[in-house]
Amino acid sequence: MSITVIYGSRGCEMVRTVLAHRRFEKTIDPSMSFGIKPNLVLAKPSHSGATTDPAVVEGIITFLKDHGCHNIAIMEGSWLGDSTARAFRICGYEELARRYQVELIDLKKDNTVTVSAGGLRLEICRSPLAVDCLINVPVLKAHCQTRLTCALKNLKGCIPDREKRRYHALGLHRPIAALSRALPQHLVVVDGIIGDLTFEEGGTPVHMHRVIVGNDPVAVDSYCASLLGLAPGDVPYISLAEELGVGCTQCEVTELNEGSQSKFSPSTTADALRLHFTEKEACSACVGSLMHALYRLRQAGSTPPSGIFIGQGFRGQEGSGIGIGSCTRGFTHHVPGCPPSAKAILDAFAEILPPIV
């Protein structure tokens, strides 16, 4: 298995060059259906570091069309509490779909199929399972719970919201690995042009100027983890996916041009913010809101209140601290919402915290 890396910032041209170099056209034919799965976790443009640059997807679409393939759909289901339709619009995908006459599929509205993989029963959206070729287009980013989000974790957008909650209750890594076994991805095109090494939801973008392409999501994630100074063992779902036969962590890397081959360090900001709360089976969207609220508080020079609790593991429990999200409604102070917004959390903190003098 090989990985191809190209350096630059013009996503469309870079992707077309890599696909031609890899002779991708030899593996496709016009009778096939294609699903393109970007990372549109929420409605923020790609320069925020959160979402896939539409120019990268444009490179894939134009390459497919140049080779007579027109049955193409872009499919995504944003994270809990966010609207995929809004993400399609804000992130430039409505305009892209209109320009190239491709379908947009909101996976939050899709039918589902239940399958068994990796010892788990998993509910998966029907559309990505039904295409002949699923092209996964993640963003290279850090993640507050799994440290890395890239090819394997990006498939979490192909499951309904109730399953997203359940994955967190199952500890995330095992179901992510099992999902990659149940839902084959045929090509991975990583948008490493702008990512975020602090927050999955963007806001602290880092320019990395590269696109990384491979057929094996385990190899791609293993390579991308190494770019962030992480070993496959630091991101357990990579090794678990390898054990399930999804791919192999060892691979050959070809660079098509010269670029800054520098590695990147995940920010320590998220680790420092995590010290302020206790988490049990929390969803990423909920933790993301809390992290942003804590980050804003720190920027304002204020110290967060002590005794913050978050996650599905606190459902039905009572406590004397501050509960974040509807799962913690039994706590003395409780911020409602599933997930609550960062603003709602900040407003609640403002009522509890003494004013800054």
Select from 325, 331, 333, 342 the one that contacts ligand SF4 (CB under 6 A): 325
Nearer to ligand SF4, 80 or 219 (CB): 80
Q: Does 322 bind ligand SF4 (CB under 6 A)?
A: no
Alpha-carbon gap, residue 152 to 50, rounded angstroms: 16
Q: Does 41 bind ligand SF4 (CB under 6 A)?
A: no
Local structure of 108: helix, strand or coil: helix
Nearer to ligand SF4, 307 or 313 (CB): 313
Per DSSP, the residues of 13-52 read HHHHHHHHHTTGGGG--TT--EEEEE--SSS--GGGTSS-
**Token pair in block for residue 97:** 């779909």
Stretch that binds ligand SF4, among 54-62, 115-123, 152-160, 325-333 (CB under 6 A): 325-333
Stretch that binds ligand SF4, among 41-49, 98-106, 186-194, 280-288 (CB under 6 A): 280-288
**Cβ atoms of 288 and 201 closer than 8 Å:** yes
Task: Please state, as a whole number, how many other Cβ atoms lie within 10 Å of the Cβ of residue 131.
Answer: 19
Closest CA to 180 of 142, 148, 154: 154
**Token pair in block for residue 205:** 């973008």
Stretch that binds ligand SF4, among 102-110, 195-203, 206-214, 281-289 (CB under 6 A): 281-289
Q: How far is the CB of 289 from ligand SF4 (least distance, A)?
A: 8
Q: Does 339 bind ligand SF4 (CB under 6 A)?
A: yes
Stretch that binds ligand SF4, among 35-43, 219-227, 244-252, 323-331 (CB under 6 A): 323-331
Site for ligand SF4 in 140-199 (CB under 6 A): 165
- Find the angle CA(298)-CA(304)-CA(309) to the nearest 5 degrees: 130
Stretch that binds ligand SF4, among 22-30, 130-138, 230-238, 279-287 (CB under 6 A): 279-287
Q: How far is the CB of 348 from ligand SF4 (least distance, A)?
A: 14
Alpha-carbon gap, residue 286 to 274, rounded angstroms: 13
Q: Give the contacts of 191 (CB within 8 A, at least 6 positions apart).
A: 11, 38, 39, 46, 52, 53, 56, 137, 138, 139, 140, 211
Q: Does 39 bind ligand SF4 (CB under 6 A)?
A: no
Site for ligand SF4 in 78-107 (CB under 6 A): 80
Select from 311, 334, 335, 345 the one that contacts ligand SF4 (CB under 6 A): 311
Q: Does 285 bind ligand SF4 (CB under 6 A)?
A: yes
Q: How far is the CB of 221 from ligand SF4 (least distance, A)?
A: 25
**Token pair in block for residue 118:** 């990796």
Alpha-carbon gap, residue 167 to 160, rounded angstroms: 11
Peptide bond into 355 cis (omega under 30): no
Site for ligand SF4 in 43-82 (CB under 6 A): 80
Q: Does 128 bind ligand SF4 (CB under 6 A)?
A: no
Task: Report the interface residues with ligand SF4, using CB under 6 A.
Answer: 80, 165, 282-283, 285-286, 311-312, 325-327, 338-339
